[in-house]
Structure 1
Amino acid sequence: MSMPNIAAQTLQRQILSGTYKTGQMLPGQRDLAESLGISRASLREALSMLEALGFIRSMPGKGTLVTSGRSNPAAKAKATSAAPSSAELQSTFQLRYIFEPDAAALAARVINVHTTPRLWGVQARFEDALKTVDLVSASQADLAFHQLIAELSGNSGLLQISRDFETRISHSLRLPFADHSRIWEPAEEHRAIAAAISAGDADGARAAMQVHLLHTAARAGISFLQP
């Protein structure tokens, strides 16, 4: 696990435990980076993750505010200057809508008794993380679920696209978690996708993935032109 991810998990745990309470400002970045033993660049990346996940909000000229984890327009629009713009997010969701449904359909055509447990294993990791509101781990399992489907499609090009755009896809996956009251919705949609793939239902898998991507974009406050 990368240093930014480790730092994000540490800060997430401190927020959930009440070390940093809702409405409280986090320490300054220099002090926070020193306390975590990481560089300020790694800290900024960790803070970007947490803002996208709805735990904090950057307040220009003031610092970083711990939020309630409810719908956070600031996080949905753009977490930090390093985060993708709304136009980039629209492009990312549109790209995902073009290739991920077909990846799911292909995976359904070639799924077997050896690969099915891998799919449900990643889904179990996702749900286990959600149970403890470990959204850093949940977003990582979310990415793993989608990349595994690309792998299971048997098409190396689809898997390469997924990996090439991993940073942008990861951010698009985090944004819907900003509203902590809706964190189980993607898990339910994942189950529908996994069930269709496991049953060898290519059309059902494609449709379930399309629904999931449209709902994910909507939860993130993003709309895009469908092909």
Structure 2
Amino acid sequence: MNVPQQIAQALQRKLQDGHYRAGENLPGQRELAEAMGVSRASLREAISMLEALGLVKSQPGKGVLVTTGQVRQHKDIPAGPFAASPQATFEFRMVLEPAAAALAARHITPEGKALLWQIQSTLEDALKNQDLIAAAEADLEFHLQVARLSGNALFHQVARSLSAPIGHSLRLPFADHLHIWETAHEHQVITNAITQGNPAEAHLGMLNHLRNAAARVGLQMDSL
């Protein structure tokens, strides 16, 4: 994990331990950064991750509120520090990633199969431990590896270059804390299809996963 992810994970533990309670504000960023011995830039990025996961909510002029996770309205979706909106990111992913999954199913190797199942195990372990930071990291790694396993260097390069907005978009569904396991279940469907060498099912599984993930965020992608 990079530094902002480590900070986010440390704050997540404090939230889970009740150090900071739902309905209360986090300390100011300057105070919190000094207490944790980190830069304010890294702290801001960590808070952005926590907000995407539904653990906190930034309130302009009022600080950062601790929340409990909930289904968001479209207007409440945090955009993150990216030029592309979550809607645009999901639209792009729904064009790229189903094709990558289908190609991965055609080119899958024994090593690739083992890797995908290992990532699935990591994701499930993180969810069992209620570690949404680690779960989101495993989620992103799964999607990046599917792009790499497609055998198409352009798919992999594009996915890697857009890993930040893609990572933000896949954190957003975890804000619905009642349905965090749906990501793992949908990944299992995709992994089954890829490892069994079934391109059609891999394509459909990825398309349905992205459509469902967008719906959990409050975005409708039925037209794609």
Counting only pairs closer than 5 Å after superposition, residues 1-227 of structure 1 correspond to structure 2 as 1-73=1-73, 76-78=76-78, 82=81, 88-224=85-221, 226-227=223-224
Runs of 4+ in 1 over 6 A off after TM superposition: none
Question: What SS is found at the alignment partner of 1:27?
Answer: coil
In structure 1, the gaps of 5 or more residues are none
CA distance in 1, matches of 2:221, 2:88: 8
Cα distance per residue 1:124-151 (max 9 Å; x no partner): 1111101111111111100000011111
1:108–1:202 contact (8 Å) kept in structure 2: yes
RMSD (CA atoms): 1.7
Question: What SS is found at the alignment partner of 2:111?
Answer: coil
CA distance in 1, matches of 2:52, 2:83: 11
Q: Which amino acid aligns with 2:129?
A: T
1:53–1:135 contact (8 Å) kept in structure 2: yes
Query: Could you tell me the TM-score, scaled by structure 1's length?
Result: 0.93
1:52–1:75 contact (8 Å) kept in structure 2: no
In structure 2, the gaps of 5 or more residues are none
1:76–1:221 contact (8 Å) kept in structure 2: no
**Alignment: residue pair count:** 224
Query: Could you tell me the TM-score, scaled by structure 2's length?
Result: 0.94
Cα distance change of structure 1 residues 212 and 137 upon mapping to structure 2, 3 Å threshold: same
Query: How far did 1:157 drift?
Result: 0.5
Cα distance per residue 1:26-54 (max 9 Å; x no partner): 11111001011111111111101001101
Query: How far did 1:156 drift?
Result: 0.4
